[in-house]
């Protein structure tokens, strides 16, 4: 029982840490947009890079909605496999996004962080949600 009691708060805290860092990048995205551009750039290039980053951060927030809804509804709260995957992915994302924020990494790196640290746990959350709802349905 101690594993479950340790995974639930760890998962919640890493989810929130990742969420706070994504919101911080959203608010201060100008420096990250400038890191994606060459030394001399046009306004169109800046707008394209800014739009790309806004889309990436918005999709990440959508993945948070999926994962937090599954977690807070109780569908995956006590699933050890999903919790370990989520804790590992979101802890890794928190560290990677801090480097992304402070070191001014390229915008293309964000998509890799998104794929492995946001989309993968959200996808497994959807699969788990479908499996749980599928088992609860009564056969015709």
DSSP 68-120: HHHHHHTSSTT-HHHHHHHHHHHHHHHHHHHHHHHHT--HHHHHHHHIIIIIH
Report the alpha-carbon distance of residue 137 to residue 102 in Å, rounded. Answer: 48
Report the alpha-carbon distance of residue 27 to residue 12 in Å, rounded. Answer: 23
How far, in whole angstroms, is CA 107 from its chain's centroid?
Answer: 15
Nearest to 22 by CA among 90, 123, 105: 90
* Locus of tokens 């349905």: 137
Output the pTM of the full model: 0.88
Give the tens place of pLDDT for each residue, 48-106.
Answer: 999 999 999 999 999 999 999 999 998 888 889 999 999 999 999 999 999 999 998 88
When pLDDT is averaged across residues 17-40 and rounded to a whole number, the result is: 92
pLDDT-based confidence at 138, cuts 50/70/90? Answer: low
């Amino acid at each position: 029982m101690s594993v479950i009691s340790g995974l639930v708060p760890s998962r919640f805290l890493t989810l929130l840490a990742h969420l706070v860092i994504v919101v911080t990048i959203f608010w201060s995205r100008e420096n990250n947009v400038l890191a994606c551009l060459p030394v001399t750039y046009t306004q169109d290039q800046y707008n394209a890079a800014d739009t790309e980053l806004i889309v990436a951060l918005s999709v990440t927030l959508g993945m948070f909605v999926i994962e937090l809804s599954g977690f807070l509804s109780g569908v995956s709260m006590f699933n050890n496999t999903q919790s370990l995957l989520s804790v590992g992915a979101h802890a890794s994302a928190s560290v990677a996004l801090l480097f992304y924020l402070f070191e001014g990494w390229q915008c293309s790196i964000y998509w890799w962080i998104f794929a492995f640290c946001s989309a993968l746990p959200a996808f497994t959350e959807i699969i788990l949600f479908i499996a749980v709802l599928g088992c609860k349905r009564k056969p015709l």
